[in-house]
């Protein structure tokens, strides 16, 4: 199941069934099934609180992914800062919805094992995001 909830923010207007089908299709491209994925849309302040409490990081970010996956099934909690998604969209000059879709699939790609800490893995992540977005 794919769940969408909100903490300290506003639920984005999403076609949840369409997005869930898309997420399942992308996961299948990488050989995974979807178990329980919980997206939590929140404010920058809530994201910072989660980052500090669980990761000991003291900075704002657009996404935090907690991975509970098994060998072939993706499970996780994915916190998304709506404030940062909005500011990132403005910064790169794309509609908010486009940036939101990118970050939704970014979390799934993390669960499949894709990193983004080096220039090389970041480029691979962007390539995979673009491929996934083309399916939407």
Domain holding 50: CATH number? Answer: 3.40.390.30
The mean per-residue pLDDT over the stretch 84-111 comes to 97
Closest CA to 62 of 37, 43, 90, 77: 43
Q: Which residue has the tokens 């990193």?
A: 115
Checking if the pLDDT of 84 tops 90, the result is yes
Query: What is residue 49's predicted lDDT score, i.e. its pLDDT?
Result: 95
Question: 15-24, 47-56, 71-80, 84-93: which has the minimum mean pLDDT?
Answer: 47-56
**What is the value of pTM for the model shown?**
0.94
3-state secondary structure 15-66: CHHHHHHHHHHHHHHCCCEEEEEEEEEECHHHHHHHHHHHHCCCCCCCEEEE
Query: What is residue 59's predicted lDDT score, i.e. its pLDDT?
Result: 86
Checking if the pLDDT of 60 tops 90, the result is no
Beta bridge partners of residue 7, listed in sequence order: 42
Six token digits for residue 106? 């970014």
State the Cα–Cα distance between residues 17 and 128, nearest whole angstrom: 22
If one counts the domains in the chain, the total is: 1
Residue partners of 43: CB distance under 8 A and separation at least 6:
7, 8, 9, 81, 82, 83
**Residue 82 belongs to what domain range?**
2-135
């Amino acid at each position: 199941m794919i769940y969408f909830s909100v903490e300290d923010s506003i639920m984005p207007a999403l076609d949840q069934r369409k997005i869930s089908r898309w997420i399942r299709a992308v996961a299948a491209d990488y050989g995974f099934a979807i178990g329980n994925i919980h997206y939590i849309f929140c404010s920058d302040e809530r994201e910072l609180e989660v980052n500090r409490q669980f990761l000991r990081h003291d900075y704002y970010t657009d996404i935090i992914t907690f991975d509970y996956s098994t060998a072939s099934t993706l499970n996780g909690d994915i916190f998304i800062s709506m404030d940062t998604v909005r500011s990132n969209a403005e910064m790169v000059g794309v509609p908010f919805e486009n940036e939101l879709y990118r970050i939704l699939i970014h979390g799934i790609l993390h669960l499949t094992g894709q990193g983004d800490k080096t220039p090389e893995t970041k480029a691979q992540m962007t390539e995979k995001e673009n491929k996934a977005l083309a399916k939407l």
